[in-house]
Chains A and B, each alone.
Chain A
Amino acid sequence: MQPLLHLDNVSKRYGAVRVLDGIDITVADNEFLTILGPSGSGKTTILRIIGGFEGIDGGRLMFEGRDLSAVPINRRPFNTVFQDYALFHHMTVAENVGYGLKVRGRPKAEIAERVAEVLDTVGLGTLGGRYPALMSGGQRQRVALARAIICEPRLILLDEPLSALDVELRAQMQRFLKSLQRRLGIAFVFITHDQEEAIALSDRIIVVNRGRIEQEGAPEELYRRPRTPFTASFLGDNNLIPGRLAAVDGRLCTVDTAAGRLDATVDGPAPAPGSAVLLAVRPEHVRLDADPAARDGLPADVADVRFLGANVMIELLTPALPGAVIKVRRLADGAVAGLRPGASVRLGWAADDAALLQAAP
């Protein structure tokens, strides 16, 4: 099936700085796609290129098979929710929301009717007469959304729209965004640096770093099976253990590390035996045995125990892996209540919970 939007090998440079280096992104109809990356990764540039605020230096931008490069901003069938909303402060909420229809020359009665409809959709039914300055952050956010959806675009671009909201409102707006996207059936391209937000919202995540795509896939796939060290450490926490791939047997791999032979699993093609690899183990997947009689696993000492509310984060030092701090996340229950820095434990993990990554070249 032809994608709705296709960034085909797109490059962008500012002067001598290459911001995007041959990026290839497709957006499907009705999809909630998140572009996730740290600041300076090029994610905002991607959004600005789609929106038409930036040109490209290489590649093509295709919309339903048509080249969009020469189409000006005001003729692209997309609308943007800006990071700080960019609501016109001299217009009422209704005027802001109806502006897209007004410039298209629609009759006043039709605009009023559509504005009322859309304000209802975003839950601001009665606030059309207000000025944006008199609204809360969450309400302004909804106005920006209403303004973006009223022209029924094929695609909505959202530039870190939740970053200005406090934690509670943020969670509420996340749920709202997701349900709105499902109801409207419009593709959302969402930019964020917040991996939790990306995981909670997206059908698909594209992780970008330094102007390149690191990895893309469904949130769960990216979380469980990171393929690059960057994805492994940017999406949630990971313990990364360097080694050399010794043998591959189906999904099961054996890796030579400083702590001896360790097992890991790989989805898809495995690296060549002998190549430098990393084992990635989530803190919540590390097994911990405080029984002095235990003989399984690597001996380790507790370096630090941090209480985080529902969880505790335990940091371990093991002589088998000098210099490495192994992080362990546990529910803050009775099983960890007695753990103190200095205690001796044994640690381990199931081979299934250790993902194999190609080490950075």
Chain B
Amino acid sequence: MGVMNTPLRRDRQDLLRAGLGHALNLGLPLLFVVIPILSFVVVSFWTLQDGQILLIPTLANYRAFFTEGSYLSVYLQTVGLSLQVTLVNVALSTAIALFIFRRTPRMRFLILMSFMLPLFMSYIIKVYSIRSILGQRGLLNEAMLGLGLIDQPIEALLFSRTAIFIALAVLYLPYAILPIYLALDRIPANYLAACADLGATPLQALRDVVLPLARPGIAAGAVFTFILTFGDFVTPQMVGGTQGFTFGRIVFSQFGLALNWPLGSALAVILLATTLLAVALAGLSLRREHVR
């Protein structure tokens, strides 16, 4: 006969197991999320002197954001761009999600998957294909030339603010379509039947039932788009050229080119604070949500 588990020993083992569980619950997010973020928050208060990072606490990095160079104006421009992209992206995604929602269940899956396909592709490939579409000898210009809509290629399609705008809006479409579609999918089928039964036209049902119930998905899609757009520094660089100096690129250049980690960290903290604000605003708009 093996060793008997005395009640006391079992108690101790349970306690140990529970303790370990709690430690993991708290420890994993701490290790992988909180500490890395805190580390650059800490760095943002350090001082850079003659290319050396000194552990002298200072607010100079944050002051620089408001007073020096074009940090603040680029920040505001990027907020504006991100809001525009978010608006267009969410409007498009809502239309697409509604389109998918109205197909037969089998078609829905197919169409949804084809819209999700870009998620499985490399980011770089996507940006390059957008470049090849927008370029001077790109698909769009060639097509418009061929149709006789324009006499000569439009150069401003690439390496412009418009290019960044189009690229970002296309790139982050799947991130908005998915949550919006999932919200639509959760609407009980008989709600639409009830609307019609009560005399509502399809448009009235859309206004009163479908869109209000899709709101959490729309908010999630908007937050995703805004955060991803706001922090993106590769797309603006690749399709925006010199025109595409966004806030993300400034942060990146502080770590890369300028090797000013404290300032870079301070700007990153501001970026983080902005995205957190976006999340908070989205959450606020959903406060009146009623769980069934």
Residues A88 and B191 in contact, CB atoms below 8 Å apart = yes
Tell me if A72 is interfacial: C-beta within 8 Å of chain B: yes
Tell me if B4 is interfacial: C-beta within 8 Å of chain A: no
The closest CB in chain A to the CB of B204 belongs to A103
Tell me if A194 is interfacial: C-beta within 8 Å of chain B: no
Residues A80 and B291 in contact, CB atoms below 8 Å apart = no
Residues A51 and B290 in contact, CB atoms below 8 Å apart = no
B292 partner, pick from A74, A104, A133, A151, beta carbons under 8 A: A133
Tell me if B55 is interfacial: C-beta within 8 Å of chain A: no
Q: Which of B197, B208, B212, B292 has the most CB of A within 10 A?
A: B197
List of A residues within 8 angstroms of B199 by Cβ: 74-75, 100, 103-104, 151
List of B residues within 8 angstroms of A84 by Cβ: 188, 190
List of A residues within 8 angstroms of B200 by Cβ: 74, 99, 103
Tell me if B201 is interfacial: C-beta within 8 Å of chain A: yes
Residues B204 and A88 in contact, CB atoms below 8 Å apart = no
Distance A102 CA – B199 CA, assembled complex (angstroms): 9
List of B residues within 8 angstroms of A254 by Cβ: none
Q: How many residues of B contact A (CB 8 A)?
A: 21
List of A residues within 8 angstroms of B195 by Cβ: 74, 99, 103
Find residues 160-201 in chain A having any chain B CB closer than 8 Å to their own CB: none
Residues B198 and A90 in contact, CB atoms below 8 Å apart = no
Contact with A along B199-212 (1 / 0, CB 8 A): 11100100011001
List of A residues within 8 angstroms of B212 by Cβ: 90
Distance A131 CA – B208 CA, assembled complex (angstroms): 16
Find residues 77-132 in chain A having any chain B CB closer than 8 Å to their own CB: 78-80, 82, 84, 86, 88-90, 99-100, 102-104, 131-132
Residues A86 and B290 in contact, CB atoms below 8 Å apart = no
Shortest distance from the beta carbon of B193 to any chain A beta carbon, whole Å: 6
Distance A80 CA – B191 CA, assembled complex (angstroms): 12
Residues B196 and A82 in contact, CB atoms below 8 Å apart = no
A133 partner, pick from B188, B197, B204, B291, beta carbons under 8 A: B291
Distance A80 CA – B195 CA, assembled complex (angstroms): 10
Tell me if A53 is interfacial: C-beta within 8 Å of chain B: yes
List of A residues within 8 angstroms of B188 by Cβ: 84, 86
Tell me if B213 is interfacial: C-beta within 8 Å of chain A: yes
**A82 and B290 contact, Cβ closer than 8 Å, known pairs A99-B208, A103-B200:** no
Tell me if A73 is interfacial: C-beta within 8 Å of chain B: yes
Residues B291 and A86 in contact, CB atoms below 8 Å apart = no
Q: Which of A51, A103, A147 has the most CB of B within 10 A?
A: A103
Distance A84 CA – B289 CA, assembled complex (angstroms): 21
Residues A103 and B201 in contact, CB atoms below 8 Å apart = yes
Identify 4 new A-B residue pairs, CB closer than 8 A, beyond the known A73-B196, A73-B197: A102-B208, A103-B195, A103-B198, A131-B290
For the complex of A and B, 7 pairs with smallest distance between CB atoms: A73-B196, A100-B198, A86-B194, A89-B292, A86-B190, A103-B200, A80-B197
A to B CB contacts below 8 Å, 28 in the list: A51-B193, A51-B197, A52-B196, A72-B196, A73-B196, A73-B197, A74-B197, A74-B198, A74-B200, A79-B198, A80-B194, A82-B190, A84-B188, A86-B190, A86-B193, A88-B191, A88-B194, A89-B290, A90-B209, A90-B213, A99-B198, A99-B208, A100-B199, A103-B198, A104-B199, A131-B290, A132-B292, A147-B198
